[in-house]
Copies of this chain bind each other. A is one copy, B any other.
Amino acid sequence: MSKPENLSDNIVWHATTIARRDRESRLGQRGTVVWLTGLSGCGKSTIANELEALLYRRGVATILLDGDNVRHGLCAPAQTLAQRHDQAFADRFGLGFGQQDREENIRRIAAVGELFVSSGMIAITAFVSPYRADRQLARMQIESAGSEGDFVEVYVDTPLEVCERRDPKGLYKKARAGEIKNFTGISDPYEPPSSPEIHLNGGDERTVAEQAGQIIAYLEASGRLRAS
Please state the number of chain copies in the assembly: 2
Query: Quick one: which of B4, B53, B100 contacts A88, CB cutoff 8 A?
Result: B100
Contact with B along A34-66 (1 / 0, CB 8 A): 000000000000100110111011010111110
* B114–A13 CB distance below 8 A: no
With a cutoff of 8 Å between Cβ atoms, the chain B residues found around residue A119 in the complex are 61-63, 116, 121
* A15–B111 CB distance below 8 A: no
A100, B112: Cα distance in complex, Å = 21
With a cutoff of 8 Å between Cβ atoms, the chain B residues found around residue A115 in the complex are 63, 65, 69-70, 73-74, 112
Query: Quick one: which of B17, B76, B100, B118 contacts A89, CB cutoff 8 A?
Result: B100
Q: Is A209 interfacial (CB-CB < 8 Å)?
A: yes
Q: Please, how many residues of chain A have a CB less than 8 angstroms from a CB on the other chain? A: 62
With a cutoff of 8 Å between Cβ atoms, the chain B residues found around residue A17 in the complex are 49
Given contacts A63-B23, A118-B69, contact A112 B49 (CB under 8 A): no
Given contacts A56-B1, A56-B4, A84-B140, contact A18 B64 (CB under 8 A): yes
With a cutoff of 8 Å between Cβ atoms, the chain B residues found around residue A57 in the complex are 4-5, 7, 13
Interface class of chain A by DSSP: helix
Shortest Cβ distance from residue A205 to the other chain B in the assembled complex, whole angstroms: 12
Given contacts A23-B63, A62-B23, A69-B118, contact A100 B111 (CB under 8 A): no
Instruction: Give me 9 other A-B pairs in contact (C-beta within 8 A), A4-B57, A26-B59 excluded.
Output: A4-B56, A13-B57, A63-B116, A63-B118, A74-B111, A76-B111, A92-B92, A108-B108, A112-B112
A contact residues vs B (CB 8 Å cutoff): 1, 4-5, 7, 12-13, 15-18, 22-23, 26-27, 46, 49-50, 52-54, 56-57, 59, 61-65, 69-70, 73-74, 76, 81, 84-85, 88-89, 92-93, 100, 103-104, 107-108, 110-112, 114-116, 118-121, 137, 140-141, 145, 208-209, 212
